[in-house]
Structure 1
Amino acid sequence: MDKKVYKGEEIEIYFDSEKCIHSGVCVKGMPEVFDLSKRPWVNATESPADKIAAHIDTCPSGALTYKLTNKTDKE
């Protein structure tokens, strides 16, 4: 399966559902960005890109990755 991409002005968030272990780290730690009750469930504009990137780095499975559009890539 391809990764889904959610684009903001300064960050692109990628989600690989096959890697996800449903730990809930994303939704518990940053519910303004990751909200399962909304569609799309990822909103890449609700927080500064650097804060979103730092939170994505805590994803235990690596299902969430990102690309900063104005800085160096992390994927």
Structure 2
Amino acid sequence: MDTHEYNADEITVLWKPKVCIRAGVCVKMLPKVYNPIDRPWIKTENATAEELKDQITKCPSGALSYKLNS
């Protein structure tokens, strides 16, 4: 399955577009990070790793996940 990776210092955000239901929870919670009009549409540098982890756990479809960078 297609997975897009968006790297930051401490965390990498993983997005699976075919799983995404476009609920918009990510955009509502962190609009400075998630902007579907922009490319790239995820700008991890605009939030802390903790903010990203908190938002990702609320993704209703599971399309967003993360891995910690070592």
Question: In which range does the TM-score fall when normalised by the shorter chain?
Answer: over 0.9
In 1, Cα distance between equivalents of 2:56 and 2:38:
19
Superposed structure 1 runs of 4+ greater than 2 Å apart: none
In 1, Cα distance between equivalents of 2:37 and 2:2:
22
Q: What TM-score, normalized to structure 1?
A: 0.87
Q: For this pair of structures, how many residues does the alignment match?
A: 70
Give the gaps of 5 or more residues in structure 2: none
Give the gaps of 5 or more residues in structure 1: 71-75
Task: Kindly indicate which of the two structures has a greater share of residues assigned to helix.
Answer: 2
Q: 2:9 is matched by which residue type in structure 1? A: E
Structure 2 match to 1:73? none
Question: Quick one: higher RCO (CA 8 Å, sep 6+), 1 or 2?
Answer: 2
Could you tell me the percent identity over the aligned residues?
Answer: 40
Find the residue that maps to 2:45 and give its secondary structure: coil
Find the residue that maps to 1:13 and give its secondary structure: strand
